[in-house]
Amino acid sequence: GAVVSQHPSRVICKSGTSVKIECRSLDFQATTMFWYRQFPKQSLMLMATSNEGSKATYEQGVEKDKFLINHASLTLSTLTVTSAHPEDSSFYICSARVETGGYTFGSGTRLTVV
Amino acid sequence: AQKVTQAQTEISVVEKEDVTLDCVYETRDTTYYLFWYKQPPSGELVFLIRRNSFDEQNEISGRYSWNFQKSTSSFNFTITASQVVDSAVYFCALSEGWGGSYIPTFGRGTSLIVHP
C-alpha cells in the first residue's frame, strides 16, 4: 500500500533555531501533501496544503513565515519551523491522498522546543 | 459548525468488555467518505476503515465492526471483547466531495483505555 515516510520522529531544539521535517511518499507520487498539527489530547488540525511546484496553501491563522513548506518534487514535502519557540512544541503529521481514495499518514514528528 | 462530533472524550473499560465509539457527522454533500483511525501512544495514525456515502452496509473485521446510518448521520465503531492493546485514541474523519477529494476533517477523538 501507499506509504508516507516522515522524519525525524522526534526532535528537540533550542528556542530560536529552525527545524526541518521531511515527508516522503515511498511508492507513489504525491502532487499534494497535507500538514497537520496536533496539540496534546486534541484533534488534528490542518495547517497547510503543500502543492508540488507551487506555493503552499495555508489555513487561516497559520503563519506562513513561521511554517515554511516546500514541495520540490513529487515525492517530497518539507515543513520548516523557523525561529522555533516553546509554543511551537507539538506533534506534526503529514498526509497524502492516494489514488484509490483515502489518505495515508506519516508517523508524525514530535517537536519539543526548549 | 463542527463537521465531525465524537462526544465521548474518554472511555474506560475492563478487558473483554464490548465498547462502542460514537461518531456523528454533518455534511451537505451527497458524496463523501468516512474514516476511522487509531492513534496509539506512539503517535502514528493507523487506518482502520473507509466507507463511502453510498455504501451503508455494516462491516465487520475481526473484533471490529462499524455501523453506518445515514438517517442519523452516524458512523459508530464497536470493539468486541476489548483488549489492552486496543488502548488508544480513535479518530473519526469526514472527507467530502467525489472520491473523498476534500481533505479529511477530524473529530476530537475518543481516548479508549482498556484495563486488564
Q: Could you read off the pLDDT of A8-19 as tens digits, one per residue? A: 999 999 999 999
Residue A57, min C-alpha distance to chain B (Å): 13
CB contact under 8 A, A42 and B100: no
pLDDT given for residue B109 in this prediction: 95
> What is each CA distance from A58 to A32, A64, A78, B72, in whole angstroms?
13, 7, 14, 33
CB-based contacts of A111, cutoff 8 Å, min separation 6: A11, A13, A19, A21, A81, A84, A88, A89, A90, A91, A92
Q: Which residue has the cell 518534487?
A: A73
Rounded Cα–Cα distance for residues A25 and A3 (Å): 6
- Stronger pLDDT, B88 or A3, i.e. the higher one: B88
CB-based contacts of A60, cutoff 8 Å, min separation 6: none
Per the CB < 8 A criterion, the answer to whether B115 and B55 are in contact is: no
Chain A residues whose beta carbon lies within 8 Å of the beta carbon of residue B99: 101
Chain A residues whose beta carbon lies within 8 Å of the beta carbon of residue B105: 46
Mean pLDDT across chain A, nearest whole number? 92
Is residue B1 pLDDT above 60, yes or no?
no
| Strand pairing category for B19-21 and B10-14 | unpaired
Q: Which residues 26-85 of A have a C-beta within 8 angstroms of B?
A: 34, 41-44, 46, 49
- Strands, E assignment, A9-97: 10-13, 19-25, 32-38, 44-51, 57-58, 67-73, 76-81, 90-97
Report the residue from B50, B100, B106 with minimal CB separation from A43: B106
Chain B residues whose beta carbon lies within 8 Å of the beta carbon of residue A105: 37, 44-45, 47
Is residue B101 pLDDT above 80, yes or no?
no
- Name which of B103, B105, B108 to mutate to probe chain A: the one with the most chain A Cβ atoms within 10 A of its Cβ: B103
Is residue A113 pLDDT above 60, yes or no?
yes
> Helix and strand tally (H, E) in chain B?
0, 12
Per the CB < 8 A criterion, the answer to whether A98 and A28 are in contact is: yes
CB contact under 8 A, B33 and A44: no
Rounded Cα–Cα distance for residues B112 and B12 (Å): 6
Rounded Cα–Cα distance for residues A94 and A111 (Å): 14
Predicted confidence band of residue B96 (pLDDT cuts 50, 70, 90): confident
Q: Which residue has the cell 496553501?
A: A57
Q: Nearest chain B Cα to A1, which residue?
A: B47
CB contact under 8 A, B100 and A104: no
- Name which of B3, B90, B106 to mutate to probe chain A: the one with the most chain A Cβ atoms within 10 A of its Cβ: B106
CB contact under 8 A, A91 and B43: yes
